[in-house]
Amino acid sequence: MISLFFCLFSCKEIPKSTSLDDIFRKAEALVHGNSINPSDYLMGAPVKILLVDSTLITLDYASESFFHVFNIDKNEYLGNFGSKGLGPNEFLQPFSLTYFSPLNFLSYDLFDKSLKKINVEALKKGEIIYEKTLSFNSISNIAVLPTKDKNYLCFGMYESNMFKIKDSLGNDIGSFMDFPLEEKMNRKDIDNRNLAMAYQGTLAMNPSKDKFVYASSDGTILGIYSIFNNSITQDFLLIYDYPQFTIDNSDGGTSSPMTKDAISGFLDMYVTDKYIYALYSGKNIVELRDQTSESEDIYVFDWNGRCIKHYNLDIPIKNIAVLPNNKKIYAIANNPEPTLVEFKVNL
């Protein structure tokens, strides 16, 4: 356990018994429901979900096609679309779902090294129509998000720093921020690409595209950042557990395997204009075994880092999406098969 930048803007040493529960004063139990009949669809292994107006999209790695599409206004399953392959309007390894506009969303195709803008109206009609908005010459990027000034925020395995800003042609504008390290670790002794492996996590951009949040997959680190004049500033940083990892760069590879003491951190994240919703585990990865990707706890922050509410769910979930009015949370739960569930909230 280490220092925590508190949500109420104080900073102090915290006792070992302290957890995220202790800094969230408001807690509420939520019970799930199903508006869409689970027998109407079959999902394999959904890894992300996204809301674009009345359309909910899931990214699935174990299905005939990558994308499942739902109409949440009519409570209908529209089908699964997006073939795997090298042909026109096909995908190799879509790695993300990112809101772009009421008409389009973005997906970063890791193996194709490109960011693809996908038309939602065509998708609802059973067609995949996309355009490549950005291409790269390497697979060093893990996340690519659009910014307000039509550039791109990137996170990945870089020789230095955590984040890059790139222009519309993929050229570097600048590199920003260092990975936060425990005092016992010397940054000069560790390849930054090993840190990037150890500090993998989720990034989400606010709808105005001028603020974003990073949350670590291992350990408990959550940072809020602003983008202005092609520069990144840190507005808030919560650190409770650092990733516990070793380094293995044998045979020319780059690897940072977690140790048996590692903590499973933030599993997924979704943002609205007002709030940041973080699905959090906080459990030891050895004890969890096959359940490291599920949790019953959602912690809600505002964009200043203040703790708003802790939601305790009646079933463990894997992925989350939230209506822009903050009135409903959608999620994927193994119930027992991957199922779209929802929770009514009132923030």
- Return the pLDDT at 126: 84
Domains with residue ranges and CATH for the chain? 4-10+18-40+140-344 (2.120.10)
Per-residue confidence (pLDDT) for residue 17, from 0 to 100: 44
**Cα 197–Cα 251–Cα 264 angle in degrees, nearest 5:** 25
State the first-to-last Cα distance of the chain, in angstroms, to the nearest integer: 31
Res 179: pLDDT: 95
Q: What is the pLDDT of residues 12-61, one digit of tens each?
A: 333 444 678 888 889 999 999 999 999 999 999 999 999 999 999 999 99
C-alpha–C-alpha distance, residues 158 and 175, integer Å: 9
46, 84, 37: which is closest to 321 by C-alpha?
Answer: 46
pLDDT tens-place values along the chain, 347 residues long: 344 444 444 333 334 446 788 888 899 999 999 999 999 999 999 999 999 999 999 999 998 899 999 999 999 999 999 989 988 889 999 999 999 999 999 999 999 999 999 999 998 888 888 999 999 998 899 999 999 999 999 999 999 999 999 999 999 999 999 999 988 888 888 999 999 999 999 999 999 999 999 999 999 999 999 999 999 999 999 999 999 999 988 887 889 988 888 889 999 999 999 999 999 998 887 776 666 689 999 999 999 999 999 999 999 999 999 999 999 999 999 988 999 999 999 88
